[in-house]
């Protein structure tokens, strides 16, 4: 793999094959909550939906040397009373781990949520034995809020996850006028 800087861009429908390849990698797929392994057609439909004006989800691709090695998705909560929250998911193929791909994806997502989106709270779940992922999330201000025992099957075994969340560091809530 080349030693080029990581480039992060919005995923377009043409990236469907890359997304299917990355999330279909057995080492990546084991840490995702998707069934069955994602197909190129399914990814294309998802990315076409996300390309619509005012689409809710944001999917990013990270590239090294012009090749995709990671992706991240930001998915707003659908409930009216939780519109201030979003769930994030991130994946990096094994050969690109420890190369700055995850950090670049998290930085891009944090910039989006803190500077351009009206998101107060970002949530995620992470398997409790993925120490590098947990360290990455902590670096970006996520805190463990609690465990979920037996949360999901992984490699045929019930596995535990941590619920982690990050609150916007300086939410800008406008003050109400005195006569309101």
**Tens-digit pLDDT profile for residues 50-96:** 888 877 889 999 998 888 999 999 999 999 999 999 999 999 999 99
- Quote the pLDDT of residue 175: 60
Q: Which residues contact 24 (CB under 8 A, 6 or more apart)?
A: 37, 38
Q: Which class for 180: exposed (0-12), middle (13-18), buried (19 or more C-beta within 10 A)?
A: exposed
| Backbone angles phi and psi of 145, in degrees to 5 | -100, -20
Of 143 and 47, the one with more pLDDT: 143
Which of 10, 13, 35, 6 shows the shortest CA–CA distance to 23? 35
Q: What is the pTM of this model?
A: 0.87
Share of the chain above pLDDT 90, in %: 68
């Amino acid at each position: 793999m080349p030693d080029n800087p990581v480039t992060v861009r919005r995923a377009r429908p043409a990236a469907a094959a890359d997304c299917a390849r990355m999330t279909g990698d057995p080492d990546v797929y084991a840490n995702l909550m998707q069934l069955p392994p994602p197909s190129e057609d399914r990814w294309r439909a998802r990315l076409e939906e996300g390309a619509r004006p005012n689409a809710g989800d944001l999917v990013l691709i990270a590239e090294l040397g012009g090749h995709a090695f990671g992706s991240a998705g930001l998915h707003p909560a659908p409930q009216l009373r939780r519109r201030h929250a979003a769930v994030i998911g991130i994946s990096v193929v094994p050969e690109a781990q420890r190369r700055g791909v995850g950090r670049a994806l998290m930085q891009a997502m944090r910039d989006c949520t803190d500077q351009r989106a009206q998101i107060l709270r970002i949530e995620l779940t992470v398997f409790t034995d993925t120490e590098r992922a947990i360290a990455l999330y902590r670096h970006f201000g996520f805190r463990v809020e609690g465990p979920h025992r037996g949360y999901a099957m992984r490699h045929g075994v019930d596995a535990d996850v941590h619920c982690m969340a990050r609150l916007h560091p300086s939410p800008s809530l406008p003050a109400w006028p005195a006569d309101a």
